[in-house]
Structure 1
Amino acid sequence: MTTIRRERRQGPSVLRGSMVPESTHDQRLLDRRGPTDWLHMDPWRVLRIQSEFVEGFGALAELPPAVTVFGSSRTDPDSKEYELGVRLGRSLAEAGFAVITGGGPGVMEAANKGALESGGVSVGLGIELPHEQHMNEYVDLGVEFRYFFVRKTMFVKYSSGFVTLPGGFGTLDELFEALTLVQTRKVTSFPVILMGIEFWTPLIDWIRTSLVSSGKVSPEDVDLIRLTDDPDEAVEIIAGADRPQAGTARREEAARRHTVADAQ
C-alpha cells in the first residue's frame, strides 16, 4: 500500500514528508511573536519578495489580453457553478482573452478547462497554503507564489477585468480589493463582474441598504459592480471596456514614434 506523504509547494520548490514546515512564508512574515531574530531576517525577505515579483513579471509579461476568474475551490464538478465556469472560460478564450485563475480546483479548474478546450491560453497563479492544493491539470502556464500580495499584484497587472463566481472568504477578499482599486482609480477601464445572480443579489442588497444608506459608500459606487449569468455578456462588458484602453495605448505609441522621428 502506497503511503501518501504531505506535500507543499514553496515557489519553484516542492517539499514532501518531514521537509514540509509547520508554517507558511506569509505566516512567518506577518507573525510578530517569538524571538527577535525576525529583525535580522526581514531585510533578506525583501530580496525573496523582490524575486517573486521579477519571476511573476517575467512569466506573464508576454500574455495576450487576459481576464482573471475567481470562485470557490470547493465547487463540485457536477454543479451548475462549475458548468458556468467552463462556459465562461470558453467564451473568454473564443474572444481572444487568456484566462487567469488561482490554479486550484473548483471554479478555477472549470475556467481553466473551458479556456484550454477552446484553444485559449490557460494560466494558474498558485499560492503556498497550509493545506496544499495542486495546480489543476488544465493550466498551460503555472506560476507558484509564496506571498499573497505578490500574487494579487499579478492578478491585477495582467488582467483586463475580473469575473467573480460564487466563492468564500478568498473570493470576497479578491472582489473587494478589486472594487477598492477601481473606486480609488488605482486601476482604470477595469470591469468587475459578478456571475451567479441568485448567489450575489443578497450582497448587492446589503451594500445598498447598509453601506450606501449609511454613507459608507456613494450610490454610484454600486455601479462599479456588473451582475450577469451570461458568459457572453460578461465577455462583451470586458471587451467594451478594454477598447478605449487599447486605443489610448496605440495613440501613445504613435505619438512616441513621431517624437523619435522628429528628433532624427
Structure 2
Amino acid sequence: MYSNQRISVFGGRDITPDVYEDTLEIGRRLADEGYLVFCGGGAGVMEAIAKGVHDEGGIVVGVLKGQDLEEGNKYLTVPIATGIGIARNAILAYNCDAAIAISGQYGTLSEIAYAFQLKKPVIGYKTWDIDSVVCADSPSDVVIKLKKELKNV
C-alpha cells in the first residue's frame, strides 16, 4: 500500500559507513510506511536511501544531474535524466511534501534552503545545524518526526 505523500531525501555522495547503514535503515522504514521517495540518484546517501527503499519493495525516483539515465545508481525504480546539474536540487524540493537531510555538504545545504523557501518541513539526521531543521537522533526517530511534521502539512 502506497501513501500519496512524497518524501525527498537530501544528502551527499561522500559518507561514512555508519551513515550509509543508518540511511539504509531510514530507506527501509520509508518504504514500510509506503512513501514515494525522491533522491538525487547518485552515490552515498542517495544510493543508501535507494537501496533501503528498493530492498523493502518501495518506489524511489532518482532525479539525476546529467543527461544519461545510466548515471543513476542501480537501486532506483525510476531514474529521471535532467541535464541541469545541481539545479535539480530545486526539483527535489518542489516534488515533496517533506524532506529528510542526511549528512551532506553545500549541495545538501542548498536543498534544505529550497525546501525552506517552499515552506516544506525538513527532518535532519547528522546534517547541518539550522534552527528550522527538525533534528532526529536515530533512523527510527527520523520517521517518527517525519510523520509528525506531515500531519501539519
**TM-score category of the 2 structures, normalised to the smaller one:** 0.7 to 0.9
Higher alpha-carbon Rg: 1
* Alignment of 1:108 onto 2:16: no
Alpha carbons 2:27, 2:50 under 8 Å: kept: yes
CA distances 1:89-134 after superposition (whole Å, capped 9, x unpaired): 11111111122110001110000000011111111000129xxx82
Q: CA RMSD in A?
A: 2.3
- Alpha-carbon spacing, 1:92–1:122, altered in 2? closer, same or farther (3 Å): same
Alpha carbons 1:191, 1:237 under 8 Å: kept: no
Distance 2:7 2:40 in 1: 12
* Alignment of 1:154 onto 2:84: no
Residue identity (%): 28
Deviation at 1:237, TM superposition (A): 2.0
Q: Matched residue pairs, number?
A: 149
Q: Secondary structure at the match of 1:124?
A: strand
Q: Secondary structure at the match of 2:124?
A: strand
- After superposition, residues 57-136 of structure 1 pair within 5 angstroms as 64-75=4-15, 79-128=17-66, 134-136=71-73
Q: Secondary structure at the match of 1:193?
A: strand
Aligned residue among 134, 138, 143 for 1:230: 138
- After superposition, residues 1-264 of structure 1 pair within 5 angstroms as 64-75=4-15, 79-128=17-66, 134-148=71-85, 151-179=88-116, 181=117, 186-187=118-119, 190-196=120-126, 200=127, 204=129, 222=131, 224-245=132-153
Distance 2:56 2:146 in 1: 19
Q: TM-score normalised to the size of structure 1? A: 0.51
Deviation at 1:75, TM superposition (A): 2.5
Shift >6 Å, 4+ stretches = none
Q: TM-score normalised to the size of structure 2? A: 0.85
Alpha carbons 1:160, 1:238 under 8 Å: kept: no
Alpha carbons 1:98, 1:115 under 8 Å: kept: no
Distance 1:155 1:64 in 2: 16
Distance 2:148 2:15 in 1: 30
Distance 2:41 2:50 in 1: 8
Q: Structure 1: where are the runs of 5+ without partners?
A: 1-62, 208-221, 246-264
Alpha carbons 2:115, 2:121 under 8 Å: kept: no
Deviation at 1:86, TM superposition (A): 0.3
Alpha carbons 2:99, 2:122 under 8 Å: kept: yes
Alpha carbons 2:93, 2:111 under 8 Å: kept: no
CA distances 1:206-262 after superposition (whole Å, capped 9, x unpaired): x6xxxxxxxxxxxxxx2x2111132222222222222344xxxxxxxxxxxxxxxxx
Give the helix-richer structure, 1 or 2: 1
